[in-house]
Structure 1
Amino acid sequence: MNILDQIIASKRKEIALKKSVIAINQLENTALFNAKTHSLSKSILNSPFGIIAEHKRHSPSKGTINHSLSVEEVVTGYENAGASGISVLTDSQYFGGSLDDLLLAKVAVNTPLLRKEFIIDEYQILEAKANGADAILLIATVLTQAEIKSLSEFAHSIALEVLLEVHNQEELEKSIMPSLDIIGVNNRNLKTFEVSLQNSIDLIPHLPADFVKISESGLSTIEDIKELQSHGFQGFLIGESLMKTDNPGQALEQFINKLKV
């Protein structure tokens, strides 16, 4: 069993436990559930660089990244630096995150928030809305075409946007449907955790024009961003290279300033 299979198996157990403790109507009755959401896709398109900056403490491939900073410090720094969106990892077992991180981010900033999670159940989408998310991540490699359709349509029904992540053309072809807002090409193989930006370059010609297009993982240099922009990418998800620093917000500000040159 590879790491991705392990994560999904753990997630199924986690969801079953949560459902037994917190009822759906409790999620639907939270203060944030009916709050107006902010459009992540529009925020990306209205920015010259479309940076989605990530709050990420830990990863299975890199181990501890940054446990010393509070959520508020990180996300307010990102917002002040000009991030188009902020991705908050909420998986606890493998990435050291939580839904509390998402809630704290919501209180601290107005920038659109993406719940980055291994979503396999509508319950997790309800959790996302109840804790302040504006958009959710769906990962094509762990979902069937029918699941992508039902989950993305459900997200739209409660005013959440959908970022669909693909790794290859096969995943892309099964996933294209109107209920998506953003398509992200992940440069990291989730089974081996190897990273190659060529993955984005190879897939961009096959991405339909009517979706916002972003590249994810392994992005750490100005040259990476400019190269991918030249191929048509409108946004970029950056996490580890920022979170490895003592001041992720300042690191993002310096990065964006260099992009302006």
Structure 2
Amino acid sequence: MATYLDDLLLGARRRVEAAVAREPLAALRERAVDAPVGPAFAAALAGAGVSVIAEVKRASPSKGPIAPDLNAPTQAAAYVEGGAAAVSVLTEPDRFGGSLADLADVAALGVPALRKDFLVDPYQVWEARAAGAGAVLLIAAALDEPTLARLHDEARSAGLDVLVEIHDEAEAAAAGRIGAELVGVNARDLRTFVLDRDGFARLRPHLPERALAVAESGVRDADDVRRAAAEGADAVLVGEALVRAADPRATVAALLAAGGDATAGPATAPAVDHRPTGSEAR
């Protein structure tokens, strides 16, 4: 029986086929490398306290419509005003109501932007670069390890940071083997969309030693941020709670304050941005 993830991956492959028919990869790549590289995503998360990655999200397979009329750049601007280090943009259209246009509009604000989607092909990496993203999401559960490594290398060569999303110990080990420097633990099983609130704590010890750790899914309020900080998160990714918030700016600020209050000791050394730019990504 097909799972949510199977359905989402099938849709992603179909969209790639349609996009390639409109614009071949070589043409897309040429267009992408002429576009400015978006602000570095990973470097924006490296610092004292717990950084907030705030998400632009209109719907989900499990909840249906959440904020169907959301204006992506307006929402993202509120996040940035509240202190968000970066913005995650859902670009999957069928179940999440997103688009590459949303990504481009958010990236145009000058904020580090993550393309959050179901990437299965290098073509999608270059779509993200052309839209001004600073990073892409790669989901270990959706890819065999050779494909995960290939897409990771493709994104790095394109000048993009990579958030590798994992759900179990085997995927955490794969993230280490491919050299992931930014790893997210999604507490939601993408096959069933069931949430495991203990998932981050259980998997944090298995993440690559030097990787920044992101707690994804299920972060709703300041208490959740404090818990993530205590469990070793460098950042949290927050979606539904923010798009439902009456005042997203104030909500981001409250989450950020909780992350700062929950940590002590020296700040993490800033990440060095080694991403290729301009013609170096050719």
**Superposition TM-score, scaled by structure 1 size:** 0.94
Instruction: Give the partner amino acid of 1:68.
Output: D
In structure 2, how many angstroms separate the alpha carbons of the residues matched to 1:163 and 1:259?
20
1:258 and 1:154, CA in 2 relative to 1: closer, same or farther beyond 3 A? Answer: closer
* Closer, same or farther: CA 47–81 of 1 in aligned 2, 3 Å: farther
The equivalent residue for 1:90 is 91
Q: Which moved more, 1:145-154 or 1:46-55?
A: 46-55
Q: Does the 8 Å contact 1:75/1:249 carry over to 2?
A: no
- What SS is found at the alignment partner of 1:136? strand
Counterpart CA distance in 2 for 1:234 and 1:151 is 24
Counterpart position of 1:117: 117
Residue in 1 that maps onto 2:56: 55
Report how far residue 233 of structure 1 moved: 1.1
**Alpha-carbon displacement from aligned partner over 1:88-128 (angstroms, at most 9, x marks no partner):** 00000110000000011111x22210000100000000100
In structure 1, what is the equivalent of residue 219 of structure 2? 219
Amino acid at match of 1:111: V
Q: How many angstroms does 1:172 deviate by?
A: 1.4
User: In the alignment, is the contact (CA less than 8 A) between 1:27 and 1:33 conserved in 2?
Assistant: no
Decide whether the 8 Å contact of 2:60 with 2:96 is kept in 1: yes
Task: Provide structure 1 residue ranges, at least 5 long, that are not aligned to the other structure.
Answer: none
Does the CA-based 8 Å contact 1:214-1:234 persist in structure 2? yes
Aligned to 2:163: 163
Give 2:13's aligned amino acid.
R
CA–CA distance in structure 1, aligned partners of residues 148 and 228 of structure 2 = 26
Which runs of 5 or more residues in structure 2 are unaligned? 262-282
Cα deviation per residue 1:176-223 (whole Å; 9 max; x = unaligned)?
Answer: 235422000000011111112211000111112211111100001212
Q: How many residues align?
A: 260
Tell me, in whole angstroms, the C-alpha distance in 2 between the residues paired with 1:82 and 1:204. 25
Alpha carbon RMSD of aligned pairs, Å? 1.7
Do the aligned residues in 2 keep the contact of 1:74 with 1:247 (CA within 8 Å)? no
Identical-pair percentage: 31
Instruction: Evaluate the alpha carbon distance shift between residue 176 and residue 33 of structure 1 in structure 2; reply closer, same or farther with a 3 A threshold.
Output: farther
- Cα gap change, 1:173 to 1:254, in 2 (>3 Å): closer
- Taking structure 1 as reference, are residues 202 and 31 closer, same or farther at Cα in structure 2, changes over 3 Å only? closer
Contact 1:88 1:114 in 2 (8 A): yes
Provide the C-alpha distance between the structure 2 equivalents of 1:131 and 1:35, rounded to a whole number of angstroms.
Answer: 9
Q: Can you list the C-alpha shifts for 1:48-82, whole angstroms capped at 9, x where unaligned?
A: 22110000000000111112331121011111111
The whole-number CA distance in structure 2 between the counterparts of 1:169 and 1:219 is: 21
Structure 2 residue identity aligned to 1:151: L
Instruction: Quote the residue 1:67 is aligned against.
Output: 68
Higher relative contact order at CA 8 Å, sep ≥6: structure 1 or structure 2? 2
| Alpha-carbon displacement from aligned partner over 1:141-196 (angstroms, at most 9, x marks no partner) | 01011011111011111110110000011221223235422000000011111112
**Structure 2 CA distance, aligned partners of 1:45 and 1:219?**
19
Distance 1:32 1:54, change over 3 A: farther
Aligned to 1:152: 152
Q: Counterpart amino acid of 1:170?
A: A
Instruction: Please report the TM-score for the alignment, with normalisation by the length of structure 2.
Output: 0.87
> Could you tell me which amino acid in structure 2 is paired with residue 58 of structure 1?
A
Deviation at 1:242, TM superposition (A): 0.5
Instruction: Please give the residue correspondences for 1:103-252 in structure 2 after superposition, counting only pairs within 5 Å.
Output: 103-107=104-108, 109-252=109-252
* CA distance in structure 1 between the partners assigned to 2:102 and 2:130 by the alignment: 13
8 Å Cα contact 1:161/1:180 also seen in 2: no
Distance in 1 between residues matched to 2:199 and 2:154, nearest whole Å: 29
Moved more, 219-228 or 137-146: 219-228
SS at match of 2:115: strand
* Distance change (3 Å), C-alpha of 1:97 and 1:41: same
